[in-house]
Structure formats: structure tokens, C-alpha cells
Amino acid sequence: MSKQKREFYFDNAKFILIFLVVFGHFISPHKSNSDVLYTVYNFIYTFHMPAFIMIAGFFSKSILKEGYLKKIFKKILIPYFIFQLIYFAFYTVKNGSETFTLFDPYWTLWFLLSLVLWNVLLFVFARMKYPLVIALVLGLIAGYVQDIGTFLSLSRTFVFFPVFLLGYYLKKEHFYALLRPNIRIAASVVFGAMLISYYFFFPETAKEWLLASSSYEELGVEVEQAVFIRLLMYGLMFIATFSFMALVPKRELFFTHMGSRTLYVYLLHGFVVKLFSITPFYDAIQETGNYILFLGLAAGVTLLLASKPIMTVAQPLIELRTSLLQKYMARSRNTADAS
């Protein structure tokens, strides 16, 4: 897609969200060491993946076109298989032994598996009456399945599917309506109020509800109360997500063009986070408690992994293509011939 045809607004949103994903994974091991860090962690986890999922749903409007699902399978399942193998090798080296499976995704790979399943569900739900109501009911019921857990990422698939489905039904005009000055001001107030309230009132056990990967029994709540708690979490999720979308810049910024490269950042950053955790710099941050450094670190990693050189090297792994490498080699030959 040409630069003129891309929507700066959505590319800005995706880049900011992938930065928050990277930042969240950097601070995750430290969240119990700082009340502020714990608050920030829970707050961004309330909206960063829901916003990503809603945008993914928005860009799935071609679901009923012939060949669309086949394209999704190829684009998403192939890197899922490849990176599942890479993580298997990584954890085998780290732990000494590991059992390989394609049905229980490693760490961040749940999103890829769920993305495929959301599109399959969307293919069915797009033809139904009252799809959002049915999807919401399924999201509530999913928690009653005791062993749903991380197998095939089914828990997150059903819990977050209403968000994906909502994105499918939203139009560009709906998002742009959020950018009116009065709504932006209201969103800023809501965002600030939520962040402050999280510091004082957010229960420690509630963070597991944000991850949406556990059954109600595993979360330790009475089954009669569980639905109401999940509805409350849905409410917080939607309020925070739409507030975030209201604050996203619409104009082109220095990072806008990188918003189309979030898959590279998402798939590659996990290894950077894991490797960084064994460096002296990581120990220094932990000892000094200077966690603000994670902001700069996350920004640097996000920009690096979304850069053209990294894309050129990683494209054969992620897209099974070498077009960027071929272009680079062609430019190099032309430069050499010209000199």
C-alpha cells in the first residue's frame, strides 16, 4: 500500500501499541517491586491488546471475500509454526528439556493463534443475527470451562472475540469521531482518572483477569460472581480502549511508517527481552530501581525491530520471502556499478 493510501491514524495507533507491548514485557518481571510499576503494568494491560485486537478486527472487513481466510492462514500460521519451533529450541537450551507442541503457544505467540481463530469465527459470525451479543455471551461462558487455559489459546480467543468483532463492525468514521476536541479532552480526563484509581483501588488478584487466560475456578472466584467481574473487566477494557483511540494522533509522525511493521516487532521482541534479562544492565536497573530506563529501552527496541535492516534480515523467517534482501542487493550492485 502506498504511503498516500495508508491511514496515518491507524499506523500511529499500532506503533504506540506495539511499543506498549514491548514496554509491558520489559517491566513484567519487576511489577511486584514497585507500586507505580504495578499500576502502570495493569493500566496498559487494560487496553493495549484490546486496542490491537479491535484494530485487527477493523482491518478484517474482507472476511467474506474468496481466498481471504487462505491468505490469513498463510500469513499468520506459517510464522506461528516457525516461531513455535524457535521458542521450543530456546527453552530446550535454557531448561535442558522441553516437549514440543503446536497446540499450546509459547508466550506472545497466543496472539497469532487467536488471530487465526478470530477470523474463522468472524467468517461465521458475520452472517449471523445479533453477533455481538452472542460473542459476548460466549466470552462470559468461556470462563466456566475449567481446563480451557492456554490450549489453542481458546480462553483468550473467546474472551477477546467480542472486541475483534466490534472492530469489524466499526467504520473509519466511528474512530475519527473520537478525535473531536471535546472527546479528546474527556478521554484525557478518563485516562488520568483510571490510572490514579488503579494505583489506589486495583486489586492484586485482578491482573489475571486482564490476561484472560484462566478459568473462573483458577481465578478463585465464586461462579455466581464470575460473570459480573468479567462484565466489569469488559467495561474497563472498552472505556480504556476507546479513550486511547481518542488520544492517538491523526497526522504523520516520525514513527508513523513503522506502524505497518508491528508483526516484526511482536515476533522478535520476546527474544530481546529474554536475552536482556541476563545482561548486567538488567541487574543494574533491578538493583537501583531506576525503572524509568525501561521506557527508553522499550522505545529503542521497538524502533530497532521496526527498522528496514532488521526487516530485511528477518523477512525470510517471518514472510518466507526475500524481496527486501533482493532490493538491497540490487541497490548495492547499482551503487557499485555507478562508482
Asked whether residue 2 carries a pLDDT value surpassing 70, the answer given is no
Whether 247 and 326 map to the same domain: the answer is no
pLDDT for 164: 98
Give how far the C-alpha of residue 163 lies from the chain's centroid of Cα atoms, to the nearest Å. Answer: 13
The C-alpha atoms of residue 311 and residue 5 are separated, in whole angstroms, by 22
Residue 140 has pLDDT above 70, yes or no: yes
The residue among 238, 253, 268 that closes a domain is: 253
Burial class (CB in 10 A: 0-12, 13-18, 19+), 339: exposed
| Residue 199 shares a structural domain with residue 57 | yes
Helix locations, 35-105, DSSP H: 35-58, 68-72, 78-95
| 304 in any annotated domain | no
Give the confidence band of 323 by pLDDT, cuts at 50, 70, 90. Answer: confident
* CA distances from residue 300 to 12, 16, 307 in whole angstroms, order as listed: 16, 13, 11
Distance CA 109, CA 88 (A): 12
For residue 307, give every residue at least 6 positions away whose Cβ sits within 8 Å of its Cβ, in sequence order, or none: 258
Q: Note the pLDDT tens digit of each residue in 145-181.
A: 987 877 889 999 999 999 999 999 999 999 999 999 9
- Position 278 in a domain: no
Pairwise pLDDT comparison (88 vs 334), residue with the higher score? 88
Q: Is the confidence at residue 98, as pLDDT, over 50?
A: yes
The reply to whether 321 and 186 lie within a common domain is: no
Residues 63 and 188 in one domain: yes
Q: Is residue 185 part of a domain?
A: yes
Residues 235 and 161 in one domain: yes
pTM of the full predicted structure?
Answer: 0.92
Tell me what percent of the residues of the chain surpass a pLDDT of 90.
69
The pLDDT of residue 3 is: 44
Contact 143/135 with Cβ under 8 angstroms?
no
C-alpha 315 chain-centroid distance = 20
Residue ending a domain, choose from 253, 276, 305: 253
What number of other Cβ atoms are within 10 A of residue 84's Cβ? 20
Provide mean pLDDT across the span 282-299: 88
The pLDDT value given to residue 221: 87
pLDDT surpasses 70 at 326: no
225 and 338 housed in the same domain? no
b/e burial code for range 101-133 (CB count within 10 A of at least 16 → b): eeebbbebbbbbbbbbbbbebbeebeeeeebee
Residue-level pLDDT at 337: 55
* 2: in domain: no
18, part of any domain: no
At 334 the pLDDT is 58
Mean pLDDT in residue range 183-209: 92
Q: Is residue 270 part of a domain?
A: no
Among the three residues 253, 269, 295, which one is the final residue of a domain in this structure? 253
316 contact partners, CB below 8 Å, separation of at least 6: 322, 325
Number of domains present in the structure of the chain: 2
Domain that holds residue 325: 314-339
Statement: residue 5 has pLDDT above 70: no
Do 151 and 74 belong to one domain?
yes
